[in-house]
Structure 1
Amino acid sequence: MTGLFTWSKAGRHVYLEVRPDGIAWAASTAAGNLATGFSECFPAKRQATLQALVNQHGWSGARASLVLPLDQYQVFQMERPDGLEDSELADALKWKLKDFLDFSPSEAVSDVFPFPEDAARGRGDLVNVVAARKPLVIELVNLVQGAGLELEAIDIAELALRNVVSLIDADERGVALVVLRERYGQMVVCRGGTLYLSRRLDVTLDDLQDAASQDAAIQSLALEMQRSLDYYESQLGQVPPATIRLVSGNNVLPLSSMLSSYVAATLEPLDWHELGRKADLDSRCLVAWSAGVADPGGRR
């Protein structure tokens, strides 16, 4: 009888993003929602930190998904070769990346995900090819398995963030989301549950907060955002979203108003209540939490 009142470990799923400054996590609960948290640690303390989390929350034996941060992989658009099965694409295409990677394709772990057909603009049948360094991936796999978790999947940041965008794109007209982290930002544009564009934004929170560099950082950030919207319209043939949602670890700076005079779109902070949350989410946990949020189509 006790099994009827116990939250099954088999039904529990943990989502992890291993960052330079710590481990962000989201975990399914018996109530059907996602609990989140962030544990600060140096890379040398990751194993001990993750093991402590597993012990504290009773995650031993739970399924786990890893989400790679933007700076741990690269994505390329490539033409899909004729005559290849889906299962053969990743390995075949990674060898065509030898001129673009700063490491040998033999040291790469690769995968593919679809490129929107209506954005190809006469460039053939395209796919997105993801490449990451094999030693890095092996290190993360060993980290998860060494803590007693059952690794089920490895995801990437923009596909995780797509889940959040899908929740606020009810009319499927497209939504842009900008997430600012300590050392860089990331902008994704999705429509109808499909990722159309992902861009790294080269700006740091220190530059945005420092009075001496703030004006230049704001203008640089705005320029990259506007260029991304222009590319989305001119090269992908899509109507740019009217609003950009912002997520930043610094809630003091009025970023929306600071950027508004440089960007054509309206800028608004992401409304957590719109995502069904009663309280704001620690922005460091956004990617991990997003990985656990199923989009309206049921995809992860």
Structure 2
Amino acid sequence: MSFLTKISQMFAKNKSSQRLGIAFQQQGVSLCSVPVQASDVTAGDNISAKVLFQHEKTSSANFSKTIQKLHDDFELSGDANIVLSEAQSQVVQVDKPNLPENEINSALKWKIKDLVTIPPDNMVLDYYDAPVLAGGKKKINVVCAPKDELRILVAATEQGSVKISKITTQEFAFANLLVAKNEANLLVCQQPNEEITLLIVKQKKIYFQRRLRGFAQIGSKTAEELSFSIIDDISLEIQRSTDYFERQLKQAPIKEIKVLLPIKLENVFIEKLAENSAVPVSLLEIPSPYHQHREFGAAIGASLEDIADTKEAEVLAGVPYDS
């Protein structure tokens, strides 16, 4: 039984009318509190439950204090899905151990101990299957985080009627915003002042993910600066990613590129990127009526109902945080 499953079952007694998405970032914490059926809400629906979007500037050293402030200011309630920042989790790809499923997580701690900076005795992890290369071994992507840091975040978050349901990463939160499609889409996503993430997603399963370094301050760039080199650099990374997806993974070409960059010149970025692309480029839409809160994309994605309905979307399982 996974860490996530234990949490879900432990706190499944009372079904809340609210779902919280809490996204940790290197320079802040973003919170959204929406009705449970957020993924089914349309612009014309009457929302009687509370809707809240709040961002607090802070540092990682003060995350627990910031969560306490949010509790004090807004009397939070509901099931919470937490999104770890890129600095709070590490991802590595390894061969899948030839072991029973219930033994894999414990074995992975020692298999990846030299590939990550988290000691095995302080590691919480989970994995999801990576696409198999033609004639290759089965690979898995292992996501791990430090148990001591998670324990602090869990203790700060779980107050009153707030109970943690899932702990995930921004990649899965972004992928959860995309409507399930048989065709592959490439996502270009970012949280405010974070690095850009490239994802290739098909039927909500992540086939490829990569974090691009050096673009955290893209929101401060002018249209001329975007056109001069930034778009070309990102286009090159997109081409490399699609080449790997099509040639190494033997997948059909991507059909669309979807963009979620919470910057003023997002439409300019899309226009310029489309000039370098052979496939359509458009906005990654946020579900109505929350579509204007694009800077909360990861928090909203985490708050939607099927963030971890399948094994491929489960992250950070393994052991109870209180063990």
User: What aligned pairs does 1:280-295 form with structure 2 within 5 A after superposition?
Assistant: 280-295=291-306
1:255 aligns with 2:269: yes
Question: 2:27 maps to which residue?
Answer: 21
What CA distance in whole angstroms lies between the structure 1 residues aligned with 2:249 and 2:291? 33
User: Which amino acid in 1 is paired with 2:112?
Assistant: L
Change (3 A) 1:193 1:45: closer
Question: 2:94 maps to which residue?
Answer: 78
Once the two structures are TM-superposed, the CA of residue 295 in structure 1 deviates from its matched residue by 4.6
The Cα offsets for residues 137-189 of structure 1, whole Å up to 9 and x where unpaired, read as 23322321367632232112222222222x1x44x111221113423101111
What CA distance in whole angstroms lies between the structure 2 residues aligned with 1:104 and 1:296? 28
Where does the alignment leave 5 or more consecutive residues of structure 2 unmatched? Answer: 1-13, 42-49, 314-323
User: What aligned pairs does 1:167-206 form with structure 2 within 5 A after superposition?
Assistant: 167=179, 169-170=180-181, 172-181=182-191, 182-206=193-217
Change (3 A) 1:46 1:207: closer
User: What aligned pairs does 1:2-13 form with structure 2 within 5 A after superposition?
Assistant: 10-13=16-19
What CA distance in whole angstroms lies between the structure 1 residues aligned with 2:253 and 2:135? 20
What CA distance in whole angstroms lies between the structure 1 residues aligned with 2:256 and 2:172? 20
Question: 2:259 maps to which residue?
Answer: 246
Contact 1:78 1:129 (8 Å CA) reproduced: yes
Question: 2:151 maps to which residue?
Answer: 138
Contact 1:244 1:267 (8 Å CA) reproduced: yes
User: What aligned pairs does 1:119-138 form with structure 2 within 5 A after superposition?
Assistant: 119-138=132-151
What CA distance in whole angstroms lies between the structure 2 residues aligned with 1:30 and 1:124? 40
Question: 1:4 maps to which residue?
Answer: none
TM-score, length-normalised on structure 2? Answer: 0.76
1:53 aligns with 2:64: no
1:164 aligns with 2:177: yes
Change (3 A) 1:38 1:187: farther
Contact 1:222 1:259 (8 Å CA) reproduced: yes
Change (3 A) 1:207 1:112: closer
Once the two structures are TM-superposed, the CA of residue 37 in structure 1 deviates from its matched residue by 1.3
What CA distance in whole angstroms lies between the structure 2 residues aligned with 1:69 and 1:133? 12
Once the two structures are TM-superposed, the CA of residue 233 in structure 1 deviates from its matched residue by 0.8
1:35 aligns with 2:35: no
Once the two structures are TM-superposed, the CA of residue 240 in structure 1 deviates from its matched residue by 2.4
What CA distance in whole angstroms lies between the structure 2 residues aligned with 1:154 and 1:30? 17
TM-score, length-normalised on structure 1? Answer: 0.81
User: Which amino acid in 1 is paired with 2:67?
Assistant: L
Three-state SS of the structure 1 residue aligned to 2:265 is coil
User: Which amino acid in 1 is paired with 2:209?
Assistant: S
Contact 1:90 1:129 (8 Å CA) reproduced: no
Once the two structures are TM-superposed, the CA of residue 27 in structure 1 deviates from its matched residue by 2.5
Identity of aligned residues (%): 24
Contact 2:16 2:36 (8 Å CA) reproduced: no
Change (3 A) 1:45 1:77: closer
**How many residue pairs align between the two structures?**
283
Change (3 A) 1:54 1:297: closer
User: Which amino acid in 2 is paired with 1:163?
Assistant: N
User: Which amino acid in 1 is paired with 2:165?
Assistant: E
Once the two structures are TM-superposed, the CA of residue 284 in structure 1 deviates from its matched residue by 2.7
The Cα offsets for residues 26-47 of structure 1, whole Å up to 9 and x where unpaired, read as 3242775593513223135544
Contact 2:184 2:256 (8 Å CA) reproduced: no
What CA distance in whole angstroms lies between the structure 2 residues aligned with 1:24 and 1:267? 27
Which one of the candidate residues 230, 233, 249 is aligned to 2:246? 233
User: Which amino acid in 1 is paired with 2:269?
Assistant: L
Once the two structures are TM-superposed, the CA of residue 130 in structure 1 deviates from its matched residue by 0.9
